[in-house]
């Protein structure tokens, strides 16, 4: 079921500064583009500035509480786009084994160090965005965790089919996505990260937004509904208003 969003009724001139110039740049990055190469060098600094401090940290952390919905004790867990696993404070029990997947080696190193501190057995794999294939055997995962990665994975259906392959029947898929594509997120980005990029880099935000976030929240939810059984959606910061336009984060819990 597709959730209604305001952007579908807005003219292109209004949509572009909020969600990128998608008609012009499409969803697939040009990996030889100087702007894209600059972004690869800038990403870690951007991440630490906007997602681990201030308002950005508050917004990101709001998604992590969905982990409480599913017990992890004694289970095999796979996390796609592991980051630094700040959601571990919400765990219900210690996993038996944890598999880490990330496209950013520096983020993978942080998540490995975090699991070492927690005393959790793990394996890790650095992957590329060239293929959705996961280095994981069929139906071996009890819980798949994905925080703030689905907006990046394109075309998304191939990745979700791969998730379905590795998760056991009855297994859980939990995580969160930014409410990108909604009005509140677009305005918030225009006032924060867009200004930072213009001040500190030569990156064109209208292009980067399309390539870095090819999937918008309403599209992601529709695709998740096709591949899995929905258990719960949560909208933050106004949980009683299930609207992407009024939200910054959408938490999800699906079942294989």
Interatomic CA distance for residues 69 and 194, integer angstroms: 34
- Selection from 216, 214, 217, 215 nearest residue 242 by Cα: 217
Mean pLDDT in runs of 10 for the chain (256 residues)?
Answer: 84 93 93 94 80 70 94 97 90 97 87 95 88 93 97 94 97 97 95 92 95 96 97 94 94 98
Interatomic CA distance for residues 214 and 209, integer angstroms: 8
First to last CA, the chain: 18
In a domain, 1, yes or no: no
Peptide bond connecting 155 to the previous residue in cis, omega within 30 degrees of 0: yes
Interatomic CA distance for residues 100 and 123, integer angstroms: 6
Interatomic CA distance for residues 1 and 225, integer angstroms: 7
pLDDT score, position 52: 60
CATH code, domain with 216 = 3.40.50.150
Number of domains within the chain = 1
- Selection from 117, 109, 124, 60 nearest residue 87 by Cα: 60
Residue pair 226/42 in contact (Cβ under 8 Å)? The answer is: no
pLDDT score, position 50: 66
Domain that holds residue 107: 6-255
Q: Which positions ≥6 away from 146 have C-beta within 8 Å?
A: 79, 80, 81, 173, 174, 175
Single pTM value for the model: 0.92
- Kindly list the distances between the CA atom of residue 132 and the CA atoms of 51, 78, 156, 162, 215, in Å, as whole numbers in the listed order: 25, 14, 9, 7, 15
In a domain, 27, yes or no: yes
Q: What's the angle, vertex CA 146, arms to CA 143 and CA 150, rounded to 5?
A: 135
Ranges of beta strands (E only) in the chain are 76-80, 97-102, 122-126, 141-147, 167-178, 229-236, 249-255
pLDDT score, position 54: 60
In a domain, 103, yes or no: yes
pLDDT score, position 127: 87
In a domain, 43, yes or no: yes
- Kindly list the distances between the CA atom of residue 159 and the CA atoms of 129, 223, 230, in Å, as whole numbers in the listed order: 10, 10, 17
pLDDT score, position 21: 94
């Amino acid at each position: 079921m597709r959730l209604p969003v305001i952007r579908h009724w807005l003219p292109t001139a209004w949509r572009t500064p909020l969600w990128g110039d998608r008609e012009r740049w499409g969803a697939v990055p040009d990996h030889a583009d100087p702007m894209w190469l600059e972004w690869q060098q800038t990403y870690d600094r951007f991440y630490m500035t906007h997602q681990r401090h201030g308002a950005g940290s508050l917004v990101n952390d709001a998604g992590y509480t969905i982990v409480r919905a599913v017990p992890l004790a004694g289970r095999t867990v796979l996390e796609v786009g592991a980051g630094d696993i700040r959601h571990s404070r919400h765990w219900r029990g210690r996993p038996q084994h944890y598999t880490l997947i990330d496209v950013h080696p520096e983020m993978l190193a942080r998540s490995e160090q975090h699991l070492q501190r927690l005393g959790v057995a793990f394996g890790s794999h650095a992957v590329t965005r060239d293929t959705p294939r996961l280095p994981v055997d069929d139906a071996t995962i009890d819980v798949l965790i994905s925080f703030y990665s689905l907006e990046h994975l394109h075309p998304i259906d191939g990745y979700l089919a791969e998730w379905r392959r590795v998760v056991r029947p009855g297994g859980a898929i939990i995580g969160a996505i930014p409410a990108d594509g909604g009005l509140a997120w677009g305005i918030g980005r225009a006032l924060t990260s867009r200004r930072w990029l213009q001040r500190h880099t030569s990156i064109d935000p209208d292009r980067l937004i399309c390539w870095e976030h090819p999937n918008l929240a309403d599209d992601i939810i529709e695709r998740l509904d096709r591949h899995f059984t929905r258990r719960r959606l949560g909208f933050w910061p106004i949980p009683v208003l299930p609207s992407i336009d009024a939200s910054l984060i959408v938490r999800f819990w699906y079942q294989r």
